[in-house]
Amino acid sequence: MTAMGDFSSSRFLTVAEVAEVMRVSKMTVYRLVHAGEMPAVRFGRSYRVPEAAVEQYLRSSVVEGRSETA
């Protein structure tokens, strides 16, 4: 297991790329980052999100639907 903050093998995505993958607006991604729901690294005035963080966020957001039986 890697230590927290070890990004040597991480691929980073821009906010626009995260928004495209998640099919949401860039503002939604910024809200997730600022709320602490999605980790990001700040480079100057822009943010980069580790690809693994996007995958983890999506996995944790899965809603199990219930089946309707007649």
Q: What is the pLDDT of residue 9?
A: 74
Q: What is the pLDDT of residue 16?
A: 98
Say which residue the tokens 């899965």 belong to.
62
Exposed e or buried b per residue across 41-68, where buried means at least 16 C-beta atoms within 10 angstroms of its C-beta: eeeeeebbbbeebbeebeeeeeeeeeee
Q: What is the pLDDT of residue 63?
A: 86
Q: Residue 10's pLDDT band (boundaries 50, 70, 90)?
A: confident
Q: Are 52 and 10 in contact (CB under 8 A)?
A: yes
Q: What is the pLDDT of residue 5?
A: 62
pLDDT tens profile 18-59: 999 999 999 999 999 999 999 999 999 999 999 999 999 999
